[in-house]
Amino acid sequence: MFAGSPGNTSSFLQTTGTGTDPAAPGATPATPATPATPATPGAPGAGATPATPATPATPATPAAGAPGATPPAVAVPATVPITPATPSAAAFLAAAYQDGLTEIRLAQLAQTRGESSGVKEYANAMIEHHTVVNAQIQQLAQQKGVTLPSDITAEQAAEVTRLSALTGLQFDRDYMWENVLTHRLDLAEAMRQARNSDDLNARYFAAISAPLLKTHLGFGEGLLQRLDPAAFVAFTYQSSLAEIEWAELALERATDEDVRRFAQSMIDEHTEANDRITAFNETKDLPLPTEINPEQQAISEELARFSGADFDRAYMDVNVIAHAKATLAARTQMSGDGRDVDVRGLARSLEPDLAGHFVRSSELARNITPSFLYSAAQSNLAEIRLGYLGGLRSTNAGVSAYGQRLASEHTPVQVQLEQLAQSMDMVLPIELSPEQQLAYSALVRAQGQTFDAGFAAYSERLHDEAIERFTEESQRPTNQQTQAFAQAQLPVLTAHRDEARALLSGLGGQVQSGLQQLQALRDTL
């Protein structure tokens, strides 16, 4: 999706924000595009007060063939020493655990009350993934001396009760609204913990779990917009609000003149787009957001950390993702999936500009070279996150062992990168690049030989790119610290790349078929 132009309309990868959405359940618009009028779902967050302990829900047995039949691991790297939990880390783990319990319980409802096959597929994935993630939280909490709540909060329990009374399309819409709002909040909190936590174990847990939450959120947002055209209108309007805020920041911090010109055009063109949506809404009377959502706010906070070329690249990457998502959402409404004729017309009027923004942002991003530490840290985080994915998901012993080794051996490298950045008064990214997130999301959905071939091939590609980057730095005498670091890491990177190639060779005839299936999966994102 991010390599050229937006693909078709399926959306397992959508990276948008979190927060109070006026179009969410609880609003009362009066048009065919209007969702039903349920109460606003609970908003989980760190430090939530647990309800009186009760018997927790027992996760259902995962359905065969659902996306991510073996969920990804989200364990804290074994090479990071386990320390007693700080109060903020304990609150974060408790809230994440309760949110997982809630996701499992609601997904069980969706298996019997949902109408859409997409909703049931999503529910299966939520049960499978959150069961594994909660097991990892339990393990980490036990090691850190944290007592986890035994049940969900009273507010979350009320939401389960409310959804239990619904069926069919009304259930599907309300269930997906709850999931989008919850995952937006959880992703924003994970990003903040990954960036700022005073507890190293919680920080790494959050950093490793964030791409999975992005994948859940993307799938949920895309599915909700197909079920409820009002969500498309609200999300598109809110995305423009975020684009304007990010562009205003870019006018303050960007150093590349092309990036600054792009930012000004985003202010102008997204202001005009929202004026168009407002005019459209005069007859629809749909609830429109008045502010950006929590994930978008977390992205603003992330961007504000950077300067120079690192800011320019981070800003353009954010635009690549946001405009790819917005273009795909518009095309979904324009297709047979669009349930409201007027919203289809609005989407048709917005799509050319959104697609143009995607192409322009992609071209600009490719032409910006961030600092060595920025790109090295982003690549290293991708290798850790994908390593955990391979370690748990692969049924091939060699691929699984390789994945575990990647996660284990790249984790201390991340610690070194953080120390280097601190000594040089620099900051490191916590977000994957658009391509890295796309690969992660495609692999989350892949199984069997498709997963093995895709995982090994992408690991080889990641390491090829890293070797090129580290070789250049090792030969550049401008900074002795980064030069020495690059020289020391090259043998490890080369060994990992060679092992990925050997795995691909060992997979033999499975490779071509697996890669073709993975590419087909990537094309649907």
Looking at residue 349, its pLDDT comes to 96
Looking at residue 76, its pLDDT comes to 52
Tell me if 206 sits within 8 A of 92, measured CB to CB: yes
pLDDT digits (tens, 9 = 90+) for 212-239: 999 999 999 999 999 999 999 999 999 9
Spatial distance between the Cα atoms of 357 and 277, rounded to a whole number of angstroms: 18
Residue 5, pLDDT above cutoff 90 = no
Half-sphere exposure of 402 (CA within 13 A, CB side): 27
Query: Percentage of the chain with pLDDT > 90?
Result: 74
As given in the structure block, the two tokens for residue 164 are 């239990």
Tell me if 130 sits within 8 A of 103, measured CB to CB: yes
Tell me if 10 sits within 8 A of 520, measured CB to CB: no
pLDDT, average across residues 258-278 = 98
Q: How many CB atoms lie within 10 A of CB 516?
A: 12
pLDDT, average across residues 435-458 = 89
Looking at residue 355, its pLDDT comes to 96
Spatial distance between the Cα atoms of 472 and 414, rounded to a whole number of angstroms: 19
pLDDT digits (tens, 9 = 90+) for 75-129: 555 567 899 999 999 999 999 999 999 999 999 999 999 999 999 999 999 999 9
Looking at residue 335, its pLDDT comes to 86
Spatial distance between the Cα atoms of 364 and 338, rounded to a whole number of angstroms: 32
Looking at residue 6, its pLDDT comes to 38
Beta-bridged to residue 25, according to DSSP, are: 27
Tell me if 225 sits within 8 A of 232, measured CB to CB: yes
Q: How many CB atoms lie within 10 A of CB 349?
A: 14
Place of tokens 């302990």: 53
- Place 72 in a pLDDT band, splitting at 50, 70 and 90: low
In the DSSP assignment, the letter for residue 251 is H
pLDDT digits (tens, 9 = 90+) for 21-34: 444 544 333 333 33
As given in the structure block, the two tokens for residue 149 are 């709540």
pLDDT digits (tens, 9 = 90+) for 336-367: 766 899 999 999 999 999 999 999 999 999 99
Tell me if 286 sits within 8 A of 29, measured CB to CB: yes
Residue 3, pLDDT above cutoff 90 = no
Dihedral sign from CA coordinates of 188, 191, 197, 200: positive
The residue that leads in pLDDT, 349 or 70, is 349
As given in the structure block, the two tokens for residue 114 are 């949902």
Spatial distance between the Cα atoms of 354 and 265, rounded to a whole number of angstroms: 12
Average pLDDT value over all residues in the chain? 85
Looking at residue 4, its pLDDT comes to 32
- Place 522 in a pLDDT band, splitting at 50, 70 and 90: low
Spatial distance between the Cα atoms of 427 and 62, rounded to a whole number of angstroms: 40
Residue 503, pLDDT above cutoff 90 = yes
Burial of 465 (0-12, 13-18, 19+ CB in 10 A): middle
Tell me if 428 sits within 8 A of 420, measured CB to CB: no
pLDDT digits (tens, 9 = 90+) for 186-218: 999 999 999 999 999 999 999 999 999 999 999
pLDDT digits (tens, 9 = 90+) for 294-312: 999 999 999 999 999 999 9
| Cβ neighbours of residue 54 closer than 8 Å, sequence gap 6 or more | 150, 151
Residue 465, pLDDT above cutoff 60 = yes
